[in-house]
Chain A
Amino acid sequence: MARVPMQSLSSPQGRIFQVEYAQEAVKQGSVVVGLVNKTHAVLVGLKRNAEELSSYQKKIIEIDSHMGIAIAGLASDARVLSNYMKQQSLGSRMTYGRPIPVDRIVTQIADRAQTNTQHYGKRPYGVGLLVAGVDEAGPHLFEFQPSGMIHEMLACAIGARSQMARTYLERNLDKITNSTRDELITHGLRALKETLSQDKELTVDNTSVGVVGLAGEEGKGKIESFKLYEGQQLVPLLEAVESGETKEEETMEVDS
Chain B
Amino acid sequence: MNHYPEVWGRPRDDIYGPYNSSYLQTTGPKTHTQSPAVTGTSVIAVKFNGGVAIAADNLASYGSLARFTDVKRLRVFGDSAVVGFSGDVSDMQYIDRLLESLDIRENYSTHGNMMNAKNLHTYLSKVLYKRRSEFNPLWNHILVAGFDEDKKPFLSSADLLGTTYSAPHLATGFGAHLAIPILRRLFPEEKPLEEISKGEAEAALRECLKVLWYRDARSLDKYSIAVITAEGVEIKEDQVIEAQSWAFAESIRGYGAQVN
> Could you tell me which A residues sit within 8 Å of B by CB distance?
94-98, 101, 103-104, 135-138, 221
Q: How far is the CA of A122 from the CA of B119 in the complex (A)?
A: 37
Q: How far is the CA of A104 from the CA of B113 in the complex (A)?
A: 10
Residues of A within 8 A of B149 (CB): 98, 221
Q: Are B122 and A135 in contact (CB under 8 A)?
A: no
Q: Are B113 and A135 in contact (CB under 8 A)?
A: yes
Residues of A within 8 A of B114 (CB): 136
Q: How far is the CA of A169 from the CA of B221 in the complex (A)?
A: 67
**B30 near A: Cβ within 8 Å?**
no
Provide the B111-135 mask, 1 if CB < 8 A to any CB of A, else 0.
Answer: 1111100111011001000000000
Q: How far is the CA of A97 from the CA of B112 in the complex (A)?
A: 17
Contact for B126 among A95, A101, A103, A135, CB less than 8 A:
A95
Q: How far is the CA of A103 from the CA of B109 in the complex (A)?
A: 9
Interface size class of B (residues with CB under 8 A): 10 to 19
**B150 near A: Cβ within 8 Å?**
yes
Residues of A within 8 A of B122 (CB): 95-98
Contact for B119 among A96, A135, A137, CB less than 8 A:
A96
Q: How far is the CA of A135 from the CA of B109 in the complex (A)?
A: 13
In the complex, the 4 A-B pairs of residues with the closest C-beta atoms, listed nearest first: A137-B112, A97-B122, A101-B113, A96-B119
Q: How far is the CA of A49 from the CA of B151 in the complex (A)?
A: 48
Q: How far is the CA of A98 from the CA of B151 in the complex (A)?
A: 14
Besides A136-B113, A137-B113, 20 new A-B residue pairs in contact (Cβ under 8 A), listed by A number: A94-B126, A95-B126, A96-B115, A96-B122, A97-B118, A98-B119, A98-B122, A98-B149, A101-B109, A101-B113, A103-B109, A103-B113, A104-B109, A104-B113, A135-B112, A136-B112, A136-B114, A137-B111, A137-B112, A221-B149
The chain B residue with its CB closest to the CB of A96 is B119
Provide the B91-120 mask, 1 if CB < 8 A to any CB of A, else 0.
Answer: 000000000000000000101111100111
Task: For the complex formed, measure the closest distance between the CB of A61 and the CB atoms of chain B, giving whole angstroms.
Answer: 23
Q: How far is the CA of A152 from the CA of B120 in the complex (A)?
A: 28
Query: Known contacts A96-B122, A96-B123, A98-B115: does B150 contact A221 (CB below 8 Å)?
Result: yes
Q: How far is the CA of A49 from the CA of B123 in the complex (A)?
A: 45
The chain A residue with its CB closest to the CB of B151 is A221
Task: For the complex formed, measure the closest distance between the CB of B33 and the CB atoms of chain A, giving whole angstroms.
Answer: 23
Residues of B within 8 A of A138 (CB): 112
The chain A residue with its CB closest to the CB of B122 is A97
Query: Known contacts A103-B109, A137-B112: does B119 contact A97 (CB below 8 Å)?
Result: yes
The chain A residue with its CB closest to the CB of B111 is A137
Q: How far is the CA of A64 from the CA of B118 in the complex (A)?
A: 20
